[in-house]
Amino acid sequence: MPVRSEGSTLGRIPMATPRKIREYVEATDVPQLVLLLTETMREHGSTNSGEYESDTEAAIEAEFTRRLQEMMFSVTYRILGEEFTDAELDELIAFVKSPVAKKARELMPMIQGEMLTMLSDKKPEIDRMMKEITREILSKHKR
């Protein structure tokens, strides 16, 4: 498990609101990070690449990507909600050079590390999810 920064406040009552966290996420490269991590999962064989017809494969990949990204965003939202207040996120969104900007840079490796740890820890669940998606899509395509 990644080590939290020295100034970490993990364990405090979440302070940032979901609206403010979403605003921060949309203003940063978190969505690109999630896409990068999703691509990494594809490269490591968590998908059915080449096993089904192209339209079926595309449907499976789309649903797998959606569910995987949902899992990764939940980790991001949890950490940001535990570590930042709305006021701090306002400072980040404005990209002001401040101690809170430094704190965000320090937290990004932790978020990335926890996403990767979560993906690794949940590999059996993710593999089951992929099989479930495959069954769902195949049953729809058989009709």
Q: What is the pLDDT of residue 11?
A: 54
Q: What is the pLDDT of residue 28?
A: 76
Contact by Cβ (8 Å): 41, 68: yes
Q: What is the pLDDT of residue 4?
A: 46
* pTM (global) more than 0.85: no
CA distance 79 to 94: 20
Q: What is the pLDDT of residue 19?
A: 92
Answer whether residue 2 shows pLDDT above 50: no
Average pLDDT over residues 23-33: 79
Q: Which residues of 91-120 are buried (b: 16+ CB within 10 A; e: fewer)?
A: bbeeeeeeebeebbeebeebbbebbeebbe
Cβ atoms < 10 Å from Cβ of 78: 14
Tokens at 33, concatenated? 């990070």
Q: What is the pLDDT of residue 138?
A: 92
